[in-house]
Structure 1
């Protein structure tokens, strides 16, 4: 039986886009094509306060994460990790980067289920539907590639999970 009763999935924050000339930068603002765009870093900072607001709990149905996991893949960007670093630092948590977005889902889900509290996963959009389906058959099968502004929330109910899609509404233009 799982001790985790709350799982939240987010896509990594905005990435560089060469067509309109949106560049990637590291935390210090140096060019880095494998990192987030400036808007992505803005979202990462805003996400920290969404999940860990000053003076209280996050809005329902969100929960303050006790564990944070971010996809890491050899030869790919480090955007999922960059997205959750401000939150992890704020909460004093280490980000678990043992799993890749292209790997087996079962070991990831075992780690999620073994977590003692709410879990936040930050992944690449291509894999989020598979993770969601493995948790809850009624969840979406795909994540809209144009959306960076959602949280998929799974709350344990008996032996199953209840799914909620929540808009972040953190930055101008969010849905």
Structure 2
């Protein structure tokens, strides 16, 4: 039986958009096409606040919880955006980000590692395969993550023998849904 009873899934934060003139930057503000946009870094910092502030704050933050483990997709030849998104939170919590798995790899090894964790787990992934993660946990019809959304949290809670999915808006930045 899985050890964790809560898995929180987020998409990496906002990315550069050359067509719109939005550049990627590293944490220091230097140009980096593989990192987040400035808005993405704002979201990453706000996520650190969201996931640490949720402890003991009642119904407004349920079912979020400070993670005891953090995973980020790492794919050869792709951006570092998932890691950039969760690094501020991991630092605040004193956690190492697990980057052993890619979003294009088989899901079973990643899910086995996630489910073996004690306590709540946060996973930051790429939107194209997040529906596969949801289907692997909950079964049922295929789900899709809207490519235009960076402002959601999918929370999976184990209740009895099944996983239940709750979709929560982050409401962290202006314009979030």
After superposition, the Cα gap between the structure-2 partners of 1:51 and 1:35, relative to the gap in structure 1 and judged at 3 Å, is same
Residue pair 1:10, 1:151 contacting (<8 A) in 2 also: yes
**1:144-172 superposed Cα distances (whole Å, 9 cap, x missing partner):** 00000000000110111111000000000
Secondary structure in structure 2 of the residue aligned to 1:134: helix
**Deviating 4+ runs (over 4 angstroms):** none
Q: Distance in 2 between matches of 1:99 and 1:111?
A: 10
Tell me the equivalent position of 1:106: 108
Kindly indicate whether residue 48 of structure 2 is the aligned counterpart of residue 48 of structure 1: yes
Q: CA RMSD in A?
A: 1.4
1:64-143 correspondence to structure 2 within 5 Å: 64-138=66-140, 141-143=143-145
Q: Structure 2: any 5+ residue segments left out of the alignment? A: none
Taking structure 1 as the reference length, the TM-score comes to: 0.96
Tell me the equivalent position of 1:13: 13
Q: Distance in 2 between matches of 1:132 and 1:26?
A: 30
Q: Structure 1: any 5+ residue segments left out of the alignment? A: none
Taking structure 2 as the reference length, the TM-score comes to: 0.95
Secondary structure in structure 2 of the residue aligned to 1:127: helix
After superposition, the Cα gap between the structure-2 partners of 1:113 and 1:54, relative to the gap in structure 1 and judged at 3 Å, is closer
After superposition, the Cα gap between the structure-2 partners of 1:122 and 1:16, relative to the gap in structure 1 and judged at 3 Å, is same
Q: Distance in 2 between matches of 1:64 and 1:140?
A: 28
Would you tell me which structure has more helix in proportion to its own residues?
Answer: 2
